[in-house]
């Protein structure tokens, strides 16, 4: 099960890098997927900064995976779980019932699964 967790974490982080880079090049589309459309230069700049910071977090995770720092990856994924939760709460406060929360909820579930897999990897590494 441990290798499944590593594979899942790698696929997840590569996907986040892809979506982040795609969003930096097209912040209008990224903002639509996020649930809070941006249509002026200041809003688009915000999304670029937001996505660039996400990419840095993800690259840190990929570095830890490459170094086989399973516990560190598990901790990073567990703490990163707060991000889609915060996004959903803030989006709901801003947009109310019209907020598109699905992407944030699904992201949170996927990150939670990845964190769980990594904690299983940490546990199985101790037993070996």
- Per-residue pLDDT tens listing for the chain (128 residues): 568 888 888 898 899 999 999 999 999 988 888 888 888 999 999 999 989 999 999 999 999 999 999 999 999 999 999 999 999 999 999 888 777 888 899 999 999 999 999 999 999 887 65
Rounded to two decimals, what is the model's pTM?
Answer: 0.86
Contact at 8 Å (CB) between 124 and 2?
A: yes
Contact at 8 Å (CB) between 10 and 121?
A: no
Which residue carries 């709901």 as its tokens?
92
* Rg (alpha carbons) of the chain, rounded to whole number: 16
């Amino acid at each position: 099960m441990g290798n499944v967790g590593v594979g899942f974490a790698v696929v997840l982080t590569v996907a986040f890098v892809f979506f982040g880079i795609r969003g930096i090049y097209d912040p209008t589309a990224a903002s639509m997927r996020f649930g809070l459309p941006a249509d002026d230069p200041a809003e688009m700049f915000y999304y670029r900064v937001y996505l660039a910071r996400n990419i840095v977090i993800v690259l840190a995770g990929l570095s830890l995976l490459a170094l086989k720092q399973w516990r560190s990856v598990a901790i990073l994924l567990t703490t990163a779980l707060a991000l889609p939760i915060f996004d959903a709460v803030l989006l709901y406060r801003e947009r109310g019932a019209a907020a598109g929360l699905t992407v944030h909820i699904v992201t949170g579930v996927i990150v939670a699964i990845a964190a769980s897999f990594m904690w299983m990897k940490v546990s199985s590494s101790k037993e070996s």
